[in-house]
Amino acid sequence: MTNQYETATFAGGRFWYLVRPFIEMEGTEEVISGYAHAASKPDGEEHNNHHQTNYREAVQIKYNPEITSYNNLLHVFWRQIDPTDAGGQFNDRGQRYAPAVFYHNENQKRQAEEAKYDLENSSRFQPSVAVEILQLEHFSHASEFHQYFYKKHPFRYKLLAARSKREGALKEIWKDTQKDRELRERLTPIQYEVTQLNKTEMPYENEYWDNEREGLYVDIVSGEPLFTTKDQYDAGCGWPSFTRPVNKNNIKEEMDVSHDIVRTEVRSREADSHLGHLFLDGPVKEGGLRYCINSAALRFIPVEELEKEGYGEYKKFI
């Protein structure tokens, strides 16, 4: 295997938001936040002052072409931006936040132009794609404070991301319209609102908060096994509460600052359904955790039906 890495550079709003999607890709070695210049050489300073107008916040990615490709990077890049917005990105406005692909060679230029052409002819975007494809003439690193900001300052990062309206807008822009239509047809309104729009159902007015039957709860969207009644208890909150998931690998926990407070959101891993929140006020003897889950995100399978439904292996957990 070659040790020869290649470099790609993209601009798409605040550089903080582009780091995590790329560093989590297999084959990327590092992602540096900085400033890309399209038309002039820099003067050696970090160009984050109001007198510099020809730069954009960008990320520079070092990647292994034997593991991932430039086209894969382009695919991820498009899905981090609104390709029709040339005046910035979401609530971050101005030239410094305008999206662009900065190519390093003619091969990258060709692939970027082909990808842009495909987007323009996909009928997904009206008006047309406004992302510029520009030759990179210089890239200067941002200060250490800005590097991997999402790891160093997770609360501030999530708060700024929420206020930028970025995450919600991206989900709407890039959603699979056919899948979304199928979900709307298959799910009840409250099931759709909870799992897809992060809503919360009413306490004590939901299906499973006081369930006394033995069985398994699975994701209403994907069928992923999530919780069992063995770990369910009455927390006095009006929602189904659990001390632990039946399979930790089937859920993911994310910081939630939607109400300007820090909470831990619980989502299913495969379907990415919003399930509820995790709190630290659960039974001490059981580890102190309380998974507070919306009934609308769950489908209940009674223990006597597990074999028929294909979940027989989970009998031993009940």
Q: Residue 290 and residue 240: Cα distance in Å, rounded?
A: 10
Which three-class secondary structure state does DSSP give residue 238?
coil
Helices 70-78, 16-23: axis angle to 10 degrees equals: 130
- The contacts of residue 163 (CB under 8 Å, 6+ apart) are 91
- The contacts of residue 225 (CB under 8 Å, 6+ apart) are 216, 217, 218, 246, 247, 250, 311, 314
Among 278, 276, 281, which residue's Cα sits nearest to residue 293? 276
Using only the alpha carbons of the chain, give its radius of gyration. Answer: 23
User: Please, what is the Cα angle at 71 between 181 and 115, to 5 degrees?
Assistant: 65
CB atoms within 10 A of CB 313: 10
- The contacts of residue 209 (CB under 8 Å, 6+ apart) are 203, 238, 239, 240, 295
Catalytic residues: 237, 274, 277, 281, 290, 292
CB neighbour burial string for 209-223, b if at least 16 within 10 angstroms, e if fewer: beeeeebbbbbbbbb
**φ/ψ (deg, to 5) at 91:** -85, 0
Q: Residue 121 and residue 53: Cα distance in Å, rounded?
A: 32
